[in-house]
Every structure is written in structure tokens, then in C-alpha cells.
Amino acid sequence: MNIVVCVKQTPDTAATVTVENGKVSWGDAPLVINPWDEFAVEQALRTKEAHGGKVIALSVGPEAAREALKHALAMGCDEAILVSDPGLLTVDSLVISKALAAAIDKIGGIDLAFFGRQAVDSDTGVTPAQVARRLGWPALTLVAALSAVDPAGKTISVDRAFDEGRQQVKSPLPALISVTKEICEPRYPSFMGIRKASKATIPVWSAADIGLGAIPAPALSWTEVFAPPKIETKVEMITGDSAEAMAAKLAARLLEEKVL
């Protein structure tokens, strides 16, 4: 199985997000691999471990995105490729998906492409479906389990997760999969993996290298970004001599405030 896993570099989720003068800032929060993408990397590695082949981590982003790729290498990916081009730094997902699809096409011979369900900074969740559409591959989104993989027969069966339950889907390969957190528990990078990743050579492909030609302008624009208004809250402690007395007081207050 030749597998690609797409990883994005994002700010740490513990970062405090602020909006100043219409610009979003994560302060000096460290940049990390998008947390959802760790699940995609783990599942890509497990699929390779079960069926052979190799896993290539792929990212579109600035030079700093190397760190996300190094994390994927440290977890066990065999290779990593960074697509980086000044023209790709301020584009929307229509353009990012074009770059990812072109890079997957250039790598060639891929059976499965794994994605996280969404990126924690832009949160659109549309990139996997857009890449699948561009490649002409089936998109298996919100996948919570791989139930059967048949590399010889070139098919895959997965469970898709919904609020109400699960849906089993069978698809021909090559296919694209976006994963949810239920799929697996990501491994920690090993010491040996971190050493290997620190020495790895990560090729950088420009837009021209992947045959993108003129980079289209983003179709979307961010007209305004603002922080949601702060909600004023107050805390009232319910006291009393017994649990019954406190419960009665609490029920009376809830009725008074029309909560019940």
C-alpha cells in the first residue's frame, strides 16, 4: 500500500486567540502538527504495518511547516514532502486542494490518502473532499474505523461516524479518507524516531514543480474577523443547613429565573 498522509502546521490548541484590528493572532504560541492529523498519521502507519508499503507525509505551507512533517516522520512516516511557494501562503482551500492534489499526482502510484477531519485554525473541513474531487477519487469522510482493506482486490471498507450511528461504506482504491478521533490513539514519537526525523532531508516542491502554473487568486476573502462578544456571568452560591434545604432553595431560584 502506498499511502500519503496530509498534515497541516497549526498553532497549539492551548493558545489564546485574540483579534486585533481585524487580524487573528495566536500570540507566540508554538506551532504544532494539526491535532486531528496525528490520528490520520497513526492510521496511515497502522495500515502500512498491516499491509506493507510506505507512508509519505505531505504538507502545503511555509518553511515552518517542516516541523509538522518532522513530527510525522518521528511518529514513523517513511518520507515527507513540503510544497512551499510564496504564492500559496494566502490562498483559500480551493487553491490548497489544487496544490495537494497536484502533489499527490506527482508522487504517483498512491493507493490511499489520509487526512484529518479539519484543521484547528481555519476549521473549514472541506479540504479532503476538494482534493478527492480534484483527483477523481472516492471521498470517505469522517471515518471512525477501517473494517477491511484488500490491497490485491483494490477495495476498502470503512465505518463512517454519525451522531446517530455508523454507516459502512465499501470503495475501490485509490481512495481518500478523512478520520475522526475514534479511529485510533496516536503514538508518541519515539526517541529514535525524533533523531531520524531531525536528520531527514525533506524535499521542497514549488508550485511550478507540481505543475500548478499560475496560482489562482482565492475565491473567498475574509471581509471581517471579530471576537465574539463577552458574555457576562455571575455566580451565586446556594447555602443551607441540609442537602434538602439547599435543593429546595436551588429549585426555587431556578423557577424564579425561569430556567425550569
Ligand X SMILES: Cc1cc2nc3c(=O)[nH]c(=O)nc-3n(C[C@H](O)[C@H](O)[C@H](O)COP(=O)(O)OP(=O)(O)OC[C@H]3O[C@@H](n4cnc5c(N)ncnc54)[C@H](O)[C@@H]3O)c2cc1C
Name the residues that contact ligand X, by CB under 6 A: 6-8, 34, 36-37, 40, 59-61, 89-93, 96, 100, 115-116, 118-119, 121-128, 218, 220-222
Which strand (E) or helix (H) includes residue 142? Answer: strand 139-150
Angle at the Cα of 86 (from 84 to 89), degrees rounded to 5? 80
Q: Which is nearer to ligand X, 40 or 156 (CB)?
A: 40
CB of 201 to ligand X, least distance (A): 19
168 within 8 A of 157, measured Cβ to Cβ? yes
Backbone angles phi, psi at 112, to 5 degrees: -140, 140
CB of 220 to ligand X, least distance (A): 4
Query: Can you tell me whether residue 255 is helix, strand or coil?
Result: helix
CB of 55 to ligand X, least distance (A): 14
- Closest CB to ligand X belongs to which residue? 116
Q: Which is nearer to ligand X, 76 or 128 (CB)?
A: 128
CB of 73 to ligand X, least distance (A): 15
Distance CA 51, CA 144 (A): 19
Dihedral angle at the C-alpha atoms of 244, 247, 248, 253, nearest 10 degrees?
A: 160
Query: Grid coordinates representing 233?
Result: 456571568
Q: Which is nearer to ligand X, 69 or 246 (CB)?
A: 69
CB of 19 to ligand X, least distance (A): 15
Q: One-letter amino acid identity for 92?
A: D
Q: Which is nearer to ligand X, 2 or 43 (CB)?
A: 43
Q: Which is nearer to ligand X, 192 or 225 (CB)?
A: 225
Distance CA 17, CA 215 (A): 30
179 within 8 A of 114, measured Cβ to Cβ? yes
CB of 254 to ligand X, least distance (A): 39
Residues shown for the chain = 260
Q: One-letter amino acid identity for 243?
A: A
CB of 145 to ligand X, least distance (A): 18
Distance CA 79, CA 103 (A): 14
Distance CA 6, CA 14 (A): 22
Backbone angles phi, psi at 155, to 5 degrees: -135, 160
Q: Which is nearer to ligand X, 122 or 155 (CB)?
A: 122
Q: Which is nearer to ligand X, 90 or 190 (CB)?
A: 90
